[in-house]
Amino acid sequence: MITWLTRGYMTLVYLFLYLPILVLIGYAFNDSRSLYTWGGLSLRWFEAALNNTLLMQATGHSLLLAIVAATGATIVGTLTAIALYRYRFRGKKLLNGLLFTVMMSPDIVMAISLLALFILLGIHLGFISLVLSHITFCIPFIVVTVYSRLSNFNPAILEAAKDLGCNEWQMTRHVLVPIILPAIAAGWLLGFTLSLDDVVVSTFVTGPTYEILPLRIYSMVRVGLKPEVNALATLMLLISLLALLASHLLIKKGSS
């Protein structure tokens, strides 16, 4: 009896989580403009979305932002993870705590904090503020991803490289980085996905001259749900799923 109740409860939870996504995907292929009428399968809304100049411009902005932010966060996050793993320094525990604080902070808190910081520093809201903000909230996730791989790393390999005459730079470049490369790539993909999907932080720190796709979709939904939005959201979901799948496979490859 308890088993059936547990299964029924979990089924309801999964339906609550994924049924709206399945409905959205279904309407993306609906030939009818009305959400309440099924007109058969069609790709017309995907074509309409791809031919929408404003949507494509916002998509280009989002992809550029995600690539730059993921790359910057991966560089900083990887160096931070290596420093936390290899070296002892004052404030190490504090740095660990700050990283997890950023991960656990509500998006709205981080958004307001970053907005206040940019106003204080006189940074113009636009591409630069978006990049800095996305790098900030992506770094902790990349640090955790890379550090988890380093935790399973055998330090005797570095000692052997040191005995063979390698200095710190050579050990890091030729021994450590190749071993953790799958985790670095997985961290980049995770950062790319987080940046591409962000709405809350971007709403506060963006400017009128640089519109990204999630905010463009949000503005379109406020005046009525259009079929093009369903199609574009389906494409974004597909890109995110592929990035997360690749990230998972890279982490699995690195751990093996």
Distance, C-alpha 142 to centroid of its chain: 10
Give, in order, the Cα–Cα distances in Å from 254 to each of 30, 138, 189, 192, 241.
41, 20, 14, 19, 20
Q: 222, 216 in Cβ contact below 8 A?
A: no
In this prediction, residue 133 carries a pLDDT of 95
Q: How far apart are CA 25 and CA 23, in angstroms?
A: 5
Which token pair is 16? 């609550």
Averages of pLDDT over each 10 residues, the chain, 256 residues: 76 85 83 73 83 87 94 94 82 80 87 93 92 94 89 76 75 80 88 90 89 85 77 82 78 62
Q: 142, 74 in Cβ contact below 8 A?
A: yes
| Domain range annotation of the chain | 1-42, 54-255
Please tell me the CATH code under which domain 54-255 is placed.
Answer: 1.10.3720.10
In this prediction, residue 1 carries a pLDDT of 59
Angle (CA) 233-212-231 rounded to 5° is 15
Nearest to 50 by CA among 41, 39, 58: 58
Distance, C-alpha 81 to centroid of its chain: 18
For 127-177, the DSSP string reads HHHHHHHHHHHHHHHHHHHHHHHHHTS-THHHHHHHHTT--HHHHIIIIIH
In this prediction, residue 176 carries a pLDDT of 80
